[in-house]
A and B are shown apart, each in its own frame.
Chain A
């Protein structure tokens, strides 16, 4: 196993997928996908509140 981009890349994708699936199985899930700007007094896509 050499440290070529394709090998490192495949390892990262596999590790990321394991972490992702692990996160999903151990976290509550919404019944519909959401965005942070949908809640509170959001003034930006990231959910930052209006501060004027």
Chain B
């Protein structure tokens, strides 16, 4: 209910603002909606959303997998942490634009270069979060696993990863939004399709309704992913907490 009120309020503010700013600068919700419908009719909207979503999924998976593995090792092995920490600080402070431009120069204007550039931007953030979780791992349970000779991969899956789950979830949450923002820049700079490319074209034509139509459509997609995928997974992973309460 509150969410609905919040949405209506947002549309109202938008509509009033559009009256003041004029349709050139800020078209009203109804005009943007008309563009969304038109683009959806031709199928163009879904193609571009799909392309961008595929890039988000690839970059997100690469960053989460690599980041979790590196974060876990850095949190557990002190020497790796000491050696890796300066690199991590460099990576954290490297502007997204620099990574993207260098990736396209070194890797060519390819799909792989683009996706890797996005993944590298998300990577340090995942590493830092998972490393925090890895440092907080329960040593008592490690000893238990050692005494009972639980095989390594099994201990990782049943003893270690469940302890890291809240940290991985936090990294995934912030990751999803970060990744899609950067994917758009990559598409603007070096890909021939996707939401970012469409927005770039619209920018050159000063076509504000199209810019807003694509941006809002993708926000809706992300919101759907969040409600239909991320939240159910979180509930499932933490069901033992809910029952214990």
- A and B bind: no
